[in-house]
Amino acid sequence: MPTIKIHVDHEELAALERRAQAHGIKVPDLVYGALNCMMTHSMESYCVGRVGQAIREKGGDLPQWSDSARSVGIYESKKDITEQRGPHSLD
């Protein structure tokens, strides 16, 4: 079976582990479910926009869903860079 590797920061992994645990599943299952959701909706404009935004922002600051202890906003005593969720956010 082919394998896809995803590199995440510790803060991102901690958030993924908590979310998976809350759903009673493992992290790879959570990631597969998210990929399935994205592929199902990948032609919808909100999804295309969110994917593009995530790619552009990767490496600049941690995503809003991750632990933010190391985010730029925290250590500069400012709000996180991303201040609003997308139109179909679950949180």
Q: Which tens digits make up the pLDDT trace of 11-62?
A: 889 889 988 999 999 999 999 998 898 888 888 888 888 788 877 877 776 6
Cβ(38)–Cβ(44) below 8 Å: no
At 70 the pLDDT is 56
Beta-carbon contacts of 74 under 8 Å, excluding residues fewer than 6 positions away, are: 68, 80
At 63 the pLDDT is 65
At 67 the pLDDT is 65
Residue 90 DSSP SS3: coil
Q: Report the C-alpha gap between 71 and 62 in whole angstroms.
A: 6
Which residue has better confidence, 68 or 36? 36
